[in-house]
């Protein structure tokens, strides 16, 4: 007991305790950062993402559907397992920050086709399958059942987004590039 008490008074113990406290606080801050940056509100806080969300996602089946289920940004864009989630959040977060601060942040001028290809390349079916686990539900069309059974046999050679191209944010393209979008673009540029 005496050795323990004398150890508790040493500089080594104080440094270990301080390190453990700092590590615990750092881990809690990291966890809270992950939670906060995974909210839809955070994702659409940038101007360019507001258009994609308001004119795309909010008009998609992932926002409006007969089941009343609303998919959050992180449901589709972030893989469910911790290591892939951290990798994805780091890669995409840094890319988004760079584009917002130093790149082309005007949604009317962005390379949406290039961004769409990049998003498809980096998408992982595990995010889709988190909600869409039954690919051959009763009442589904025969075409859908055949396509999904073929997808299951291919074992990763195809991705969900290879067939499901515009179910996510597709509506925002029409908004940006039709007359309403062109008028909004002119107004935005005049405000600058």
pLDDT value of position 181:
53
Mean of all residue pLDDT scores within the chain? 82
Nearest to 131 by CA among 57, 44, 42, 69: 69
Range of the domain at 98: 27-134+168-191
In-domain check, residue 154 = no
CATH number, domain of 173, equals: 1.10.3820
Question: Cα separation of 188 and 192, whole Å?
Answer: 7
In-domain check, residue 162 = no
What is the percent of the chain where pLDDT is above 70? Answer: 91
Question: Cα separation of 124 and 80, whole Å?
Answer: 10
137 secondary structure, DSSP code: -
Number of domains in the chain: 1
In-domain check, residue 152 = no
In-domain check, residue 5 = no
In-domain check, residue 41 = yes
For range 58-70, the mean pLDDT: 85
């Amino acid at each position: 007991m005496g050795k323990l008490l004398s150890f508790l008074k040493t500089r080594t113990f104080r440094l270990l305790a301080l390190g453990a406290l700092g590590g615990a606080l750092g881990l809690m801050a990291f966890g809270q950062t992950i939670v906060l940056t995974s909210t839809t509100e955070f994702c659409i806080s940038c101007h360019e993402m507001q258009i994609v969300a308001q004119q795309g996602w909010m008009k998609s089946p992932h926002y409006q559907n007969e089941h009343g289920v609303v998919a959050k940004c992180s449901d589709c864009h972030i893989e469910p397992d911790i290591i892939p989630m951290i990798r994805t959040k780091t890669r995409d977060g840094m890319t988004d920050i760079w584009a917002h601060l130093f790149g082309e942040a005007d949604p009317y001028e962005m390379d949406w086709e290039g961004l769409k290809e990049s998003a498809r390349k980096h998408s992982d079916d595990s995010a889709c399958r988190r909600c869409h686990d039954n690919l051959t539900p009763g009442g589904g069309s025969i075409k859908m059942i055949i396509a999904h059974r073929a997808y299951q046999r291919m074992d990763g050679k195809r991705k969900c987004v290879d067939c499901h191209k515009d179910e996510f944010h597709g509506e925002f393209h029409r908004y940006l590039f039709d007359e309403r979008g062109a008028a909004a673009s002119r107004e935005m540029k005049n405000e600058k």
